[in-house]
Chain A
């Protein structure tokens, strides 16, 4: 069964760090990109970061650039999101999600077809 499972969400003080994990099962990361998308309580979706499976290509939202780092461990089929200098506005459910053919070799944008169930991060004193 193809699935993504996030973990690592917690209550954390402003300014502190937290690392989220996303474990893929039922498929290998080769040929895919994995991204993080977050959703603040009662709000819409906000894209956070993406990494290609070879780790050579990554992008970040301006709101997290310089504070968050996305990384991948292909041997563990796991993607991480290291979140530093956390702010109250980072409070959200964080989803990891799979994007097929991220280089659009097919000529199409295939969308984000597999999503995890999410993990909750609360930044508060």
Chain B
């Protein structure tokens, strides 16, 4: 199985600051990676697909980059509503796997 390792596990940032979240894959997965945001008591929400494309309705402060084994989610200027847990997910090989998540505290 492909293991996705997210870092850091927790990130505490102030509004307006930049946040950089990392996701490393144990094997090459091309760009078949997505990022999700989950808030307490809610279902996950798609932010980024195919490593670098913003999903519909996602603000421009969210951006994704990377290919192969190293991926990054950047939130350029954090807003209070950006708090939550962020997960990466790969769809290169079965089974689909998720990273362990990064909790962002504003």
Name the contact of A109 in the complex, choosing from B34, B38, B99 (C-beta under 8 A). B34
Name the contact of B49 in the complex, choosing from A47, A60, A108 (C-beta under 8 A). A108
Count residues of chain A with CB under 8 A from any CB of chain B. Answer: 25
By DSSP majority rule, is chain A's interface helix, strand, loop, or mixed?
Answer: strand
Are B43 and A45 in contact, CB atoms less than 8 angstroms apart?
no
Count residues of chain B with CB under 8 A from any CB of chain A. Answer: 29
Are B55 and A95 in contact, CB atoms less than 8 angstroms apart?
no
Q: Does B60 contact A (CB under 8 A)?
A: no
Are B101 and A109 in contact, CB atoms less than 8 angstroms apart?
no
Are A118 and B43 in contact, CB atoms less than 8 angstroms apart?
yes
A6 CA / B1 CA spacing, docked (Å)? 28
Name the contact of A113 in the complex, choosing from B55, B89, B95, B96 (C-beta under 8 A). B55
Given the complex, which residues of B lie within 8 Å of A60, measured CB to CB? Answer: 95
Name the contact of A112 in the complex, choosing from B34, B99, B100 (C-beta under 8 A). B34
* Pairs A–B under 8 Å by Cβ, sample size 15: A37-B44, A44-B85, A44-B100, A45-B44, A59-B94, A59-B95, A62-B1, A104-B32, A109-B31, A111-B48, A112-B89, A113-B49, A113-B56, A116-B43, A118-B43
